[in-house]
Amino acid sequence: MLRLDSVSRHFGDQHVLDGISLTVPDGQLLSVVGPSGCGKSTLLRSVAGLLPGEEGTITLDGAPVTGVPEHLAVVFQEYGRSLLPWLTVRDNVALPLRRQGLGRAARRAEAEAILERVGLHGVARRRPRELSGGMQQRVAIARALVCRPSLMLMDEPFGSLDAGTREDLEDLLLEVHRADGTTIVFVTHDIDESVYVGDRVVVLSPGPGSRVVRDLRVDLPGERDQIGTRSLPDFVALRTEVGRAVRGGG
């Protein structure tokens, strides 16, 4: 379980987060939305232990987060920068397994299995730049999954992809989440996406001093599909409520 208690953050005299308290139960996919610059990435980086110095406490399974937690995976928007260009796709995915002391052949076999799982066939020996943006982001997701993380943090992971690729990757994420039960905190600008992938949506207010202004359960069927789910009255009602909250309309 991930728990934030009264987390506040200043950068110099800029007040970014103001008393964020949240409990994310194991296995939940929590979407976080809010206006640009309100502090969503800052919140995520604090949870990842990449930005020490916040006020309040963040605990993961009861232990305070004081550095990058074990069993944590992070996926950023800039897949181009997060993959190592000189390594093959397979070796990029296998990289986190080095820490587990697995031999090279076992690491590569594991990486190839995960690549198949995220729908990438026959690209293991290619370099990242030879792949499309959507394929590179699949590689980044494969690399995140290879260590079987208990917590996955995703910062606008599909923000720079075209609409069709984005939908495919949203469905991949849902499939992986259903199968593995990983706890996921998913930051997005996209209101519809936050509802489509989420079990729950938290809306942050505009800064300075961003707070949680909505905390909504997404009561939609677990099996989602891009056309059917998005046309359900419950989906439309939720996206409207989230949209109003993001725009400060109550």
Q: Which residues bind ligand ATP (CB under 6 A)?
A: 11, 16, 34, 36-42, 189
| Other beta carbons within 10 Å of 180 | 15
Closer residue to ligand ATP, CB minimum distance, 70 or 215: 215
Contacts with 79 (C-beta within 8 Å, 6 or more apart), sequence order: 128, 133, 136, 137, 139, 140
Which CB sits closer to ligand ATP, 37 or 221?
Answer: 37
The H or E element spanning position 153 is: strand 151-155
Task: In angstroms, give the least distance from the CB of 61 to ligand ATP.
Answer: 25
H-assigned helices in 146-232: 163-180, 191-197
Residue 209 CB, nearest approach to ligand ATP (Å): 11
Q: How far is CA 7 from CA 52, 160, 209, 246, in A?
A: 12, 29, 11, 20
In whole angstroms, the minimum distance from the beta carbon of 159 to ligand ATP comes to 8
Q: Which amino acid is at 99?
A: R
**Of 142 and 185, which has the nearer Cβ to ligand ATP?**
185
What CA–CA distance (Å, rounded) separates 150 from 169?
Answer: 20
Shortest Cβ 197–ligand ATP spacing (Å): 17
State which residue, 59 or 160, has the beta carbon closest to ligand ATP: 160
Residue 122 C-beta: closest distance to ligand ATP, Å:
34
| Residue 124 or 140 having the CB closest to ligand ATP | 140
How far apart, in whole angstroms, are the C-alpha atoms of residue 245 and residue 250? Answer: 5
